[in-house]
A and B are shown apart, each in its own frame.
Chain A
């Protein structure tokens, strides 16, 4: 008797201890559940957009390019719903433009009819046939800055989720969701039964349990974990409403993978699979997403369309059986195709180099944590069409050079930067021949010797002193030695290993003569030239050595683009920008990166150097551009080649584009390719693909055009063979007339004396 009582007592102690332990466990879990659920804020990546395409009458763009952009945006090619489609009618496009919240406000959905003629938009009208001044398409999402684990999502509110989606979810995943207290005994029993029978685990978890599992627990499958999950689910149900749990679930669920990016939540999944917002999903579309909860990889509609379709139809059937879809709705939905877009928007970015540049510019103003979690919307200046052309030409040409040269792996590398010369906006950035590769970004991070690309800065510095230098001032391209203490003598050689005697300044630049340039640069002063380079926008400190003048200085292609941009925009420096605007997730403007200009140089010398750089293309080292671009384009540029041809460059601009191309080996091997032979063809191909506008310069007040006889470099006229009209700063043109000039002129011996005078001037300077 006493023994029984004792056992009973022990038993009840044990029971009590167990109950206490359980309560303690539950309390511990309770704290965790509440803490984490309430403190939980989904981290939202910053989303980066390309520039929006702005259509207007007169815009130079081919119909095919607009169609491509619409396809990229996931527009269907026939009428389907209110917006997000286009229809082609000969040389006209009927576009149902989607609504979009821009930096400057929301733009509603609208219909636009665009007519094309000869590579141009000839007319732009609304659906009433009224002329429209401007139509802005929504910008292409080009990437994001993701939180840890590369989780990506677009938050949705329950109110914005279609009722059908919720009904479908409940029908297939958890029929008792709205009535159970966190778990469903019958579903669990069914699952246990099937596990015992077939040895395969099967569902049985409620939506609440699934949320707990994703939210708080590791994916291991043990009984202990199952128990914890159950307790937590009950606790969650005690503290939060069904609506709160459902909304969190819809934003949390994992619905697919895009390379290293994890697709979470129905908001992003709707974008990822259908290119639309969750609220616009049709019942058949939401049924597909709901069906994928079970196994996003197994039911991937892009890879396993049959399985996905079968699963979707199962979801629809169950939903109908639950009475949440009418037989008519079911019939329509079942007959619908899967309807997923062919490719996903907003993928892991196809433009990693550009995204990296954007990220860096953003980090000056935002904490990295905020970029990865606050869902900022970043409007960039990337032009997908220009980017595509830059990537394509670089990859094609490098493959060709590799094949011709047979230097073996690793192959040649390259980088391209394209900007708008007027605004300084970066339109394209290619960091290597494999543009999709997220790695070494040569356009931004590779600092390579720039060779002759610095010469325009030297000549610009000279031309800013019109009393000393004009485009026809004779410069001595004889052997040149520069002595400085503590350094070996510097004796620059010319590319052709010859010296050319006295040459006019413009020819020294056009032919890229090193001896003449070294003499000119050291004459005006290395410090002065370096100051010019700084004014042109190069922030890097360059070493104050004479050898810097001939391009021993190392720069990235982006820095070179900045330097040339200041010249291309007439001496007005605008810092290169990749970002236009930043807004919060819901479109509230945060920041604008304004177009700032600063006059770095007076208009006159910039006009003169630009004319000289046009000469490089017309008759100098970049003559071969002729086979790519019409001469009337008047492109200006400069080739660059470094010692043993390790680096090949071309930088230049037309009326509406500036581009810099670099080619070389990462390991600094000699490429044995000059700038003209490798970087130039890439530049030429690229510009030709972009149908650039001619470079027509606004002539400043202080510039006059004078006819020059190229033989004597004196004033000439129609009587002189090959006479050139050259610009001069007011009053700086030669006064004497060339012998060939038919009007009254000076005698031949006067010409001789001019040359002699110039020569003696050189001799005076250099003591030769």
Chain B
């Protein structure tokens, strides 16, 4: 209840600030901080890695498919939802990017860095959608 209001407020603020036209071609989103256990030989780490490789190479449906495979194993992993939100953003599906980031938030607990990144995705999705 509170959060959407806060989001809306932030977006309104951002919209007010960024009056200058933004470039149409945006640089790809910076790679997010590494997964907590990146070198571990877990199915999640493996799928996350291949999703990132696919996303970097522009194979977005494959990236999404790998993330969905991972989510079937760990449906409550907020990092997987966040990565999926990022892929949706790259795919230009802003509504899904936003709601998927919100889904990530619902499992984020008090990981403030994760929440901040979700917020960034939501903001970016909204500002791109508004264009």
Contacts and interface: CB of A to CB of B under 8 A. Distances in A.
Interface stretch (B13-21, B24-32, B68-76, B123-131): B68-76
B3 A701 contact: yes
A54 B69 contact: yes
B96 interface: yes
Interface residues of A, number: 34
A174 to B, nearest CB: 48
Interface in A597-613: 597-599, 602-604
B75 to A, nearest CB: 4
Interface in A693-715: 698, 700-702
Secondary structure call for the B interface: helix
A365 to B, nearest CB: 15
B11 interface: no
Interface in A122-145: 131-134
B1 interface: yes
A500 B106 CA distance: 38
B103 A572 contact: yes
B60 to A, nearest CB: 10
A589 interface: yes
Contact of A56 (B4, B43, B76, B109): B43
A698 B106 CA distance: 7
Contacts of A603: 106
B1 A604 contact: yes
Given A572-B106, A698-B109, A423 B75 contact: yes
Contacts of B2: 701-702
A595 B70 CA distance: 12
Nearest to B95: A598
Contacts of B75: 420, 422-423, 656
A26 to B, nearest CB: 54
Interface in B72-127: 72-73, 75-76, 84, 95-96, 99-100, 102-103, 106-107, 109
B55 interface: no
Contacts of B72: 54, 420, 423
A596 interface: yes
A38 interface: no
A597 B2 CA distance: 20
B41 A131 contact: yes
Nearest to A601: B1
Given A423-B71, A656-B75, A592 B109 contact: no
A504 interface: no
B106 A700 contact: yes
Nearest to B98: A599
Contacts of B73: 54, 56, 59
Given A422-B75, A599-B102, A602-B4, A589 B61 contact: yes
B65 interface: yes
A570 interface: yes
A318 interface: no
Interface in A115-164: 131-134
B96 A698 contact: no
B65 A103 contact: yes
Contacts, number: 79
Interface string A301-337: 0000000000000000000000000000000000000
A594 interface: yes
B100 A702 contact: no
B1 A598 contact: no
Interface residues of B, number: 32
A580 B62 CA distance: 12
A702 B1 contact: yes
A133 B46 contact: yes
A69 interface: no
B43 to A, nearest CB: 4
A335 B41 CA distance: 46
B96 A134 contact: no
Given A133-B42, A656-B75, A701-B3, A592 B61 contact: yes
A198 B68 CA distance: 67
Contacts of A702: 1-2
Given A131-B41, A572-B106, A597 B68 contact: no
A104 interface: yes
Contacts of A604: 1
Interface in A632-670: 656
Contact of B107 (A589, A595, A656, A698): A698
A402 interface: no
B50 to A, nearest CB: 9
A595 B68 contact: yes
B53 to A, nearest CB: 12
Interface in A268-283: none
Contact of B46 (A59, A134, A423, A598): A134
A595 B46 contact: no
B116 to A, nearest CB: 15
B99 A133 contact: no
Nearest to B100: A597
Nearest to B49: A133
A422 B103 CA distance: 10
A220 to B, nearest CB: 53
A133 B64 contact: no
Interface string A56-68: 1101000000000
A454 B7 CA distance: 32
A582 to B, nearest CB: 12
Nearest to B110: A701
A654 to B, nearest CB: 12
**B1, B42, B45, B65 pick with most chain A CB within 10 angstroms:** B1
A132 B73 CA distance: 15
Nearest to A381: B72
A133 B41 contact: yes
Nearest to A131: B41
Contacts of B107: 698
Interface string B35-61: 000000111011100000000000001
Contacts of A700: 106
B109 to A, nearest CB: 7
Nearest to B72: A423
Contacts of B69: 54
Contacts of B106: 570, 572, 603, 698, 700
Contacts of A72: none
A592 B64 CA distance: 10
A717 to B, nearest CB: 26
B45 A133 contact: yes
A56 B46 CA distance: 11
B71 A595 contact: yes
**A54, A595, A599 pick with most chain B CB within 10 angstroms:** A595
Contacts of B95: 598
Contacts of A572: 99, 102-103, 106
A428 to B, nearest CB: 15
**A59, A134, A570 pick with most chain B CB within 10 angstroms:** A134
Interface of A: 54, 56-57, 59, 103-104, 131-134, 420, 422-423, 570, 572, 580-581, 589, 592, 594-599, 602-604, 656, 698, 700-702, 729
Nearest 6 interchain pairs by C-beta:
A422-B75, A134-B43, A133-B46, A56-B43, A133-B43, A602-B1
Given A134-B43, A589-B61, A597-B99, 17 more contacts: A54-B43, A56-B42, A133-B42, A134-B47, A420-B72, A422-B71, A423-B71, A570-B103, A570-B106, A595-B68, A597-B100, A598-B95, A598-B99, A599-B99, A599-B103, A656-B75, A700-B106
15 contacts: A56-B42, A56-B43, A134-B43, A134-B46, A423-B72, A589-B61, A594-B96, A596-B96, A597-B99, A598-B95, A598-B99, A599-B99, A656-B75, A698-B109, A729-B1
